[in-house]
Amino acid sequence: MPASLAASLPRPRGGLPAGMLPAGIFLVLALLPLVGSFTGGSYLMSLGSRVMIFAIAATALDLLIGFSALISFGHAAFIGLGAYSVGILSAYGITDALVSLPVALAVSAAFAFLTGMVCLRTTGVYFIMITLAFGQMAFFTASSLAPFGGDDGLIVAARNTLAGFPLLRNDRTFYYVVLFCLLATYLFCRALVASRFGRVVRGAKENPVRVATIGFDVYRFQLAIYVVAGALAGLAGFLLANATEFVSPAYMSWQRSGELIVMVLLGGLGSLDGAIIGAAAYLLTEEWLSGVTEHWKVIFGPMLVLIVLFARGGLIGLASAVVRRFIRG
Amino acid sequence: MRLRPAGGSLMSTSLLVVQILNGLQLGVLLFLIAAGLTLVFGVMDFINLAHGVQYMLGAYLAVAIYALTDGFLAALVLALAAMLAFGLLLEFAVFRHLYDRDHLDHVIATFGIILFLNQGVKLVWGAAPLSLPMPELFSGSVKLADGLLYPVWRLVVIASGLAVAALLYWLVAHTRIGMLVRAGATNAAMVSALGVNIRRLFMIVFGFGAMLAGFAGIMIAPILSVEPGMGDTVLILAFVVIVIGGIGSIRGAFVAALLIGLVDTLGRSFSVDILRLVMGPSPARTVGPAIASMLIYLLMAVVLYIRPTGLFPAKGR
């Protein structure tokens, strides 16, 4: 589709004017703590932080699945690496975010670089499976880290300080820090996708042979975006470890990677807004249904099947179809 | 997957023999699961993450039917029939609508089915592990050599797995339906254009695959505990097997399943001892199990690095 390549950004499929949806999302997120202050706010705020943290990871994964057709089935490993960076550093008494955040980003980026060099040799189903294999390796490595809790995980004594100040320990401040990280991630990814670099990556998604023929080394571009997506998931891991004050191998299990894929698809592929909406929809539905019954997965599983069967393009696709029908009368 | 060690011996050669047998047993088990998976994958290009829960469901159904009939053979036969019906139902209700979608849709829909069935068995049978008694006839041990006892049931599992492998070879290589399956794995559209009812072929392959996975679950149930989520680990191992073997290749699945079974079992048994040759006992005890559980994924990464489409890629893909 050369037309979509020429456009600076993927066109929104819905009837809403471009930019209104993300603006609305971030407005709601920014106002949430104010609502929370009237009604037992700490629950709402911790739920909101969790949603935004997974939205960061889902946005990163959307860069791969939605914009590069690289279906990574091991993306939870990067969240785990970011989280373990925080946990292990704080076990050694290093608790400042100015150290642990760069370490978390560097570790997950390095892992993405090394594994990406191998994974990107394969395509299609084999790529899905080899990313899964590396995710499992990270999972088993974490499970066997006996000095750092092994299977049981590791308790982080306290949230990181920021340049020595215990800013993150206030739940509301932490919420806004997470919101800032999500906004920064979102804007960064939008700019990246719209840039020349992003156009090459999106072109390679449509037709790698043609892009190679024009003279681009597709492998290097894909490796670069794989590293970026890995580092951003590492950021999510850094925040997750601080939010829960706990790190565990379960963060890296293959089910987590599957959930991340579901989040991206639920929102709709290749639209960064969709990743945020998908993460929110997934986690809020989980929260709601698990309040209804402990066997919530019996309801949630068939819901996923129905969404795949009947709502192509995810929730955004569904919503814009409804909006279009509504506008036409 | 951690199987309880079988047999006990002081001599390391007999330990090696026991572990090789255990590895073979894990291998044929993985083959039973991977065979259906690789066929569904190869012929229909369909990623079925729900294949592992079919294995789990087979074991649960056998336990339930055993409670009613009090006979292992009856439980085996009826559970297999039920699994075949279940596979056909799943194909009819969900999967046939997804064949021409892309892989991501397969992943989500089957992920939903995993969530549903894992929780569903918990709802019906509870979260506590159940067990299936093994048939009286095979419940003893056999003496392989002096001081080397091995449970008969494990030998039965190995034998039945090899028998199914032989049956599959005959079906695929020497029957008309097998020929169609092979042709379908190479080029499904062309087979359809030649006038074969490809939808019916897909349905048969799918039902048969579900039955094979169920068979694996039933045969292993007397050794392992039957619990929710037991299919998840096995699913990942089966994917490793079919990717190493080459997607769509039964022969590849067989070789890779035995390879994975042996590497995993022997790695878990001997990694600590081997590492102790190069490092102290305490770090070896820490590092050994970690390396052992990573070994098969390492093997997969190496195989895919050298041969990006597996050891025996089905021709034409």
**Domains contained in chain B, number:** 1
Contact A300 B112 (CB under 8 A): yes
Chain B residues in contact with A261 by the CB 8 A cut-off are 104, 107-108, 111
What pLDDT digit, counting tens, does each position of A10-69 carry?
Answer: 444 444 556 778 888 888 888 887 776 666 567 888 888 999 999 999 999 999 998 988
Q: Does any CB of chain B come closer than 8 Å to the CB of residue A91?
A: no
Chain B residues in contact with A114 by the CB 8 A cut-off are none
Chain B residues in contact with A143 by the CB 8 A cut-off are 290, 293
Domain of residue B104: give its range. 12-306
Taking alpha carbons only, the member of A204, A190, A329 closest to residue A270 is A190
* Residue A199 forms part of a structural domain: yes
Query: Based on C-alpha coordinates, what's the Rg of chain B?
Result: 20
Contact A262 B108 (CB under 8 A): yes
Query: Based on C-alpha coordinates, what's the Rg of chain A?
Result: 20
Of B101, B118, B297, the CB nearest to A297: B118
* Residue B2 forms part of a structural domain: no
- State which residue of chain A sits closest to B90, comparing Cα positions: A305
Distance from the Cα of A266 to chain B's closest Cα (Å) equals: 9
Confidence label for A4 from pLDDT (cuts 50, 70 and 90): very low
CATH number, domain containing residue B132: 1.10.3470
Per-residue pLDDT at B128 exceeds 60: yes
Per-residue pLDDT at B100 exceeds 90: no
Task: Note if the pTM is more than 0.95.
Answer: no
Q: State residue B317's pLDDT score.
A: 42
* Residue A279 forms part of a structural domain: no
Please give the C-alpha separations between residue B15 and each of A305, A326, B223, B256, B276, in angstroms, as whole numbers.
47, 72, 19, 23, 18
**Domains contained in chain A, number:** 1
Query: Chain-wide mean pLDDT for chain B?
Result: 85
Query: Chain-wide mean pLDDT for chain A?
Result: 85
Of B103, B123, B310, the CB nearest to A298: B123
Averaged pLDDT for residues B272-293: 79
* Residue A47 forms part of a structural domain: yes
**Residue B297 near residue A135, CB atoms below 8 Å:** no
* Residue A135 forms part of a structural domain: yes
Chain B residues in contact with A262 by the CB 8 A cut-off are 108, 111
Distance from the Cα of B243 to chain A's closest Cα (Å) equals: 7
Q: Does any CB of chain B come closer than 8 Å to the CB of residue A285?
A: no
Chain A residues in contact with B97 by the CB 8 A cut-off are 309
Per-residue pLDDT at B3 exceeds 60: no
ipTM above 0.90, yes or no: no
Contact B232 A255 (CB under 8 A): yes
φ, ψ at A165 (rounded to 5°): -95, 135
Please give the C-alpha separations between residue A79 and each of A231, A269, B122, in angstroms, as whole numbers.
9, 20, 29
Taking alpha carbons only, the member of B132, B110, B128 closest to residue B232 is B110
Domain of residue A136: give its range. 40-253
